[in-house]
Amino acid sequence: MNTTTDVNGSRATRTPRSSPLEQPRRRPPGEGASRGSGVVTTRVGLQIPSDLSFEEWEHAGSQIAGLLDSSSWWLGDWLVYGKDHYDDRYQRGIRAVGLKYQTLRNYAWVSRRFEMRRRRAKLTFQHHAEVASLPVDEQEELLSRAEVLNWTTKQLRHFIRESGETEKALDVTRRLEFPGTRVQRWCKAAEQSGIEFEKWVSLSLDDAAARALAESEEL
């Protein structure tokens, strides 16, 4: 603790400024932070007691997964702050972290797309990443749906893809005025073929045109 003396001779106590991240007390070698009853994290792994119950093991896993997911937000916010405040020096900080720049850029991009109040604690960082490129109102709608229906990121991604294909199909219907039932059958056929709807339509028409032209030449 430091003391200073002002011009009047009075003494005041000045508390040293703490570091940005509070340092934990120094632990003996091999000791780390507990993530469950008896489960201890170390730099190179977990120390797990042999008599750990299933419930304790499950709880420890949930804590670890939560930390991993949160770290994506933390690193994204960290890079956003660095770029905004130390534009001429933040690259040095990135090198110190030891992660790939593209990885950090992805985290930062998602973090910028979602201000703190719009982030859903019940959803993962990856849920937010799946909708980050969409307009804000669509982001909110999809995240709410994923939250209520308890979707995984894979289910959310599938829904977004299917919604896109449906929208394309509706556009085709509007332009060509085909009955909706036929378009639905075509969408299903395209999906089973593993081809995007518009490409499937184009290939099918090309095939039909080639057969029609070949038949006309035979005549």
Asked if pLDDT for residue 130 goes beyond 90, the answer is: yes
**Residue 106 CB contacts under 8 Å (≥ 6 apart), including other chains:** 129
Asked if pLDDT for residue 96 goes beyond 70, the answer is: yes
Mean of the pLDDT values across residues 126-147?
Answer: 92
Longest dimension (CA), the chain: 114
Mean pLDDT taken over the chain: 76
Q: For 3-25, what is each residue's pLDDT tens digit? A: 443 434 444 434 344 434 433 44
Q: How far apart are CA 113 and CA 127, in angstroms?
A: 13
Q: Is the pTM of this model over 0.85?
A: no
Instruction: Measure CA 23 to chain center.
Output: 28
Asked if pLDDT for residue 66 goes beyond 60, the answer is: yes
Q: For 34-61, what is each residue's pLDDT tens digit? A: 544 688 888 778 888 888 888 888 888 8
* Domain locations in the chain as residue ranges: 59-138, 152-219
Burial class (CB in 10 A: 0-12, 13-18, 19+), 197: buried
